[in-house]
Amino acid sequence: MNSEHDVPLGGAFSRSVLAAFIVLAPLSMLGQVAPSTRVAGSLPVAQAVDANTDLFLPAVAYDSGGPRSSSVAVVDLNGDGKPDLVVVNNNPEQGVDSTVGVMLGRGDGTFKPVVLYDLGLGGANTVAVGDLNHDGKPDLIVASSGNVSVLLGNGDGSVKAAVVYGSDGRLYSDGSVPPLIADLNGDGKQDVIVVNQTDQNNQNGSAAVFLGNGDGTLQAVKVYDSGGFLVSSIALADLNADGIQDIVVLNCSLAGSTACPGDVATVGILLGKGDGTFRAVTSYPRAGLGADSSPVVVADVNRDGIPDLLVGNSCKFVKSHCASDALVSVFIGKGDGAFRSAVNYDSGGGNVFSIAVADVYGDQKLDLVVSDRDAVVLRGNGDGTFLFPDTYGNLGYTSGVVVKDLNGDGKPDLISVGVTSVSFVSVLLGNGSGFSAPLFFQTAGFGIVLPAIEDVNSDARPDLIAVNFCNDSFCRGPDGSLGVLLNNPGVVFNSTTTTVTSDIDPAPLNQPVTYTVRVTSATGNPLPGQVVCFAHPKNYLSPFFSGTLVNNQAIFSIQYKTLGTHRVQCEYMGDSVNSGSISLNLSEYIRQLPVGSKTILTTSGSPSHVGESVTFTASVTSNFGKIPDGELIAFYDGAKALGSAPVSGGTAAFTTSSLSAKKHTMKAVYAGDSTFQMSHGTVIQIVEP
């Protein structure tokens, strides 16, 4: 059955392949917050402003044709080269079927009225697009609790009646995991994988696999136990380099549990056999609590060519409040389908809803962009480890993030979603060393949404398509909607970067520490306006310094009365021409001096030969600050002094070719100063004739 609903004109699309899909986050994601921090560079801070129309034009709402819109796909359904919209309407009333709505694009940024197709059952949540019958026409695959609906495309923008397949499970909560489409058995036919959060008896979850027959029909489901209760997320990847897709699932708690969150959450690995079947699950503890919205992402974060797993967790609840921050668990892959134990990183918030992976700082190292009510960046070291979180706060209730270049400058931009009395999208433009201050865009509706991002009017600039759960915060309108925000091609932003440094770190009690805040812009022009600084990144309402920029900088001093680590973050407010930005968190260490140091000595090669030049490099570090450049490191061959070299960037190098043929104990000595204690390091050098 299909019907047509009138809608206002507003947006359209242009591309002949599947462009994007997005799903509505479960209502249970409305949750908690907690603290965060890190070291100085450039982050943005939010400002309470109305919808900003500089980067995107105001949203135009398109009636979805049904209540509780939950997912959108962008695809060319009629082969005219113009992207169309497909939206799922959950229709939560008992006994009422869910629907899928099709809005054909005109190619100019507008859409035709929605045409509805009955799914034959209720509880539908997510949609994916494939070609199940190899006719070159997109087909729709819709997941619901315990079922999958297949609507074969006719190639003219319409689809055939839904055929429903049971998945032998159910969704325990507001599931938002879309179907996955892949060839699992190498027969050239697309197969379908969906999540059963639990089985029919509310026990363990599973991955439900439907092998395709190649004619648009699916074989009977085969379910694979996830190894735990309530699957929140699923991913496909080749984890052991055998050319076969493997399955990753997240479990909210252990097998046999019926609680979410439970005491122990797990990751389940199902290795593919290549014939469309999978081995029994191998489980890994996440060392964090799970939630029904916890995400998993597969990426190579240590650049060894082996997939790694990035997992979001929930905080620990005590009397309905978060007693600790949520964690991001990083599992480094071994290359054989197994993983090392999780290394956990504080997310700075109460529940990790989504994770995006991108090189935010332009250093060729992957960073993690996390939504946990705030937007948070865990800066990557390039070896699979990450620094303390940098928080972009006051963005509303941030339930999802995605990273994409929106303004064509080659730098990743951060897109997050929030909800207050209205839904809105926050856009933080990348400046190469973080993000600029956010811009806010209302989505012309209400709901927890993450927009699809696609050029819908053929101007080569990405536009946003947001899913609105309903029309307003009271859901007084009968239907949901899609909010289309067109990218404004006339916008030029002058991005800024804010940094903060101190003149001494670490510092003793009662000694003034002078901070210098510097703001630079892409244009290099002098910047007007003010900066404010905070003692903690969440303490936006209580700045301890406010001043006007003079020659693009502001200077202030603080005399600390207590020992400890004091974190400082400074914001440039911006003006009508220049975007605002905020520094990374600077950690200022107040300690009894001198503090400890550590020296590590390495050799350029051992064994070496007589007369061959060998370079010895000393690395000098401290947990409480940076060793000053210019201080000397003395190098010894046993007790014999060889010479010295100055520290530069924490290292000093000395080269010699005078070593005799024997075993040498080489030593590097840092003498220390009034701030840092003395330390030394040794290395064995074998010299052969």
pLDDT at 541: 47
The C-alpha atoms of residue 454 and residue 106 are separated, in whole angstroms, by 15
Q: Is the dihedral of CA 43, 48, 54, 55 positive or negative?
A: positive
Q: How sure is the predictor about 493, in pLDDT bands with cuts at 50, 70 and 90?
A: low
Helices marked H in 31-169 — which ranges? none
Residue pair 168/149 in contact (Cβ under 8 Å)? The answer is no
Q: How sure is the predictor about 420, in pLDDT bands with cuts at 50, 70 and 90?
A: low
Q: What is the DSSP pairing of strand 374-378 with strand 343-346? A: unpaired
- Looking at the chain, the whole-number percentage of residues with pLDDT higher than 90 is 50
Query: Do 496-590 and 598-688 agree at the fold level?
Result: yes
Q: For residue 364, give the 3-state DSSP assignment.
A: coil
Query: Which sequence spans correspond to the domains of the chain?
Result: 4-485, 496-590, 598-688
> What's the mean pLDDT in 623-641?
94
For residue range 71-120, list pLDDT tens digits in order.
Answer: 999 999 999 999 999 999 988 777 789 999 999 999 999 999 999 999 98
Query: Which has more confidence, 470 or 661?
Result: 661
Please check the confidence at residue 255 and state whether its pLDDT lies above 50.
Answer: yes
Q: Count of CB atoms within 10 A of residue 246's CB? A: 22
pLDDT at 292: 67
Q: Which structure tokens are listed for 550?
A: 């003079």
> What residue ranges in 161-202 does DSSP mark as E strands?
163-166, 180-182, 191-196
Q: Considering the entire predicted model, what is its pTM?
A: 0.71
* Answer CATH for 4-485 from 3.90.650.10, 3.40.50.360, 3.40.50.300, 2.130.10.10: 2.130.10.10
Q: Which structure tokens are listed for 353?
A: 């809803």
Report whether the peptide linkage leading into residue 594 is cis, meaning its omega lies within 30 degrees of zero. Answer: yes
Please check the confidence at residue 319 and state whether its pLDDT lies above 80.
Answer: no
> What's the mean pLDDT in 428-455?
83
Q: Count of CB atoms within 10 A of residue 529's CB? A: 15
Please check the confidence at residue 393 and state whether its pLDDT lies above 90.
Answer: no
> What's the mean pLDDT in 163-185?
83
The C-alpha atoms of residue 12 and residue 122 are separated, in whole angstroms, by 29
Q: Count of CB atoms within 10 A of residue 526's CB? A: 11
Query: Which has more confidence, 79 or 504?
Result: 79
pLDDT at 111: 97
Most confident by average pLDDT, 404-413, 508-517, 664-673: 664-673
> What's the mean pLDDT in 441-469?
86
The C-alpha atoms of residue 536 and residue 348 are separated, in whole angstroms, by 12
Written as one letter, the residue type at 280 is A
Query: Which has more confidence, 254 or 415?
Result: 415
Which class is 598-688 in CATH? mainly beta
Query: What is the average pLDDT score of the chain?
Result: 83
For residue range 535-565, list pLDDT tens digits in order.
Answer: 754 444 456 788 889 999 999 988 888 888 8
pLDDT at 36: 23
The C-alpha atoms of residue 143 and residue 218 are separated, in whole angstroms, by 14
For residue range 218-252, list pLDDT tens digits in order.
Answer: 999 999 999 888 888 899 999 999 999 999 998 88
pLDDT at 115: 97
Q: Shortest CA distance to 349 belongs to which of 300, 291, 304?
A: 291
Q: Describe the chain by its helix, strand, coil percentages, rounded to 5.
A: 0, 45, 55
Q: How sure is the predictor about 479, in pLDDT bands with cuts at 50, 70 and 90?
A: confident
> What residue ranges in 302-378 does DSSP mark as E strands?
308-312, 317-318, 321-322, 327-331, 343-346, 354-358, 367-372, 374-378
pLDDT at 85: 97
The C-alpha atoms of residue 595 and residue 373 are separated, in whole angstroms, by 37
pLDDT at 169: 82
pLDDT at 472: 66
> What's the mean pLDDT in 333-356?
89
As a whole number of Å, the end-to-end CA separation of the chain is 89
Could you tell me the CATH superfamily of domain 496-590?
Answer: Macroglobulin (MG2) domain (2.60.40.1930)
SS3 string, 529-583, reads: CEEEEECCCCCCCCCCEEEECECCEEEEEEECCCCEEEEEEEEECCCCCECCEEC
Lowest mean pLDDT among 67-81, 408-422, 606-620: 408-422
Q: How sure is the predictor about 154, in pLDDT bands with cuts at 50, 70 and 90?
A: very high
Lowest mean pLDDT among 45-49, 111-115, 211-215, 329-333: 45-49
Q: Which structure tokens are listed for 26?
A: 């479960």
653 by Cβ neighbours in 10 Å (0-12 / 13-18 / 19+) ranks as: middle
The C-alpha atoms of residue 397 and residue 374 are separated, in whole angstroms, by 7
